[in-house]
Amino acid sequence: MAAKDVTIKGPDGNLGGYLASPASGRGPGVVVIQEIFGVNDVVRSICDAHAAMGCFALAPDLFWRVEAGVQITDKTDAEWKRAIDLMNRFDPDKGVADIQAAITHVRELPGCSGKVGVVGYCLGGYLAYLTGTRTDADASVGYYGLNIQKKLDEAKQIRHPLMLHIAGRDEYVPPDAQRKIVDGLKSNPHVAIHLYPEMGHAFARPGGKHYDKANAELANGRTETFIRRHLA
């Protein structure tokens, strides 16, 4: 596996990103969509894991218009305050356009098969859903995405496989919102939803407050199978 920081040509400017490439130099692509903490060590480790499984994995710096190069953690109140401020100043619509640019970047890499999916977490889980409705990604996976229930009118635009992991005790996605998401998407043949009833938000983030090894491994295994199936 090889990894490096790269520059992505976006729709209205260049943005940075972290790219991990498979040792074979060949394979499909995965765009990893950040949480509210930027392209930090957690996001980079996810890219590295996908590269180890044979994918080109790129995490674009989606906060670049607000502040480029953000890499913070969830460990202090000050970092949480900064992360929330960044999220509040972030434009999701422009973020999805940047994700499309990242998808195109990966698709054009030498050795890429041309198949590219996305995997996103928290804010990135919401953006993964929007990626599934607005971009040409071949498959999308969202973990505990925020505010998806507010964009269910876009569900009819989903043309490629979409998988959502929902935490049953997510403090940021209450039960009513979860029901709306499930009810709004259950009839769409492209969508698969997995519910983790006892899990809190970010249960798949190693070292996080609600991290649960068993459920994280279950969700990640489902994601890996999904990616292999749809990006083959």
Q: Which residue among the candidates 61, 138, 170, 212 is catalytic per the annotation?
A: 170
Cα 117 from Cα 64, distance rounded (Å): 22
Tokens of residue 27, six digits: 């394979």
Is 183 tagged catalytic? no
Note whether 219 and 143 are within 8 A (CB).
yes
Is 201 tagged catalytic? yes
Note whether 138 and 113 are within 8 A (CB).
no
R_g over Cα of the chain: 16
Q: Which residue among the candidates 165, 201, 210, 230 is catalytic per the annotation?
A: 201
Cα torsion angle, 169, 160, 123, 228, sign: positive
Tokens of residue 67, six digits: 């502040």
Cα 1 from Cα 24, distance rounded (Å): 8
Query: Pairing state of beta strands 13-21 and 56-60?
Result: antiparallel
Note whether 79 and 49 are within 8 A (CB).
no
Q: Using N-to-C axis directions, what is the helix angle for 92-107 and 123-134, rounded to 10°? A: 70
Annotated catalytic residues are 170, 201
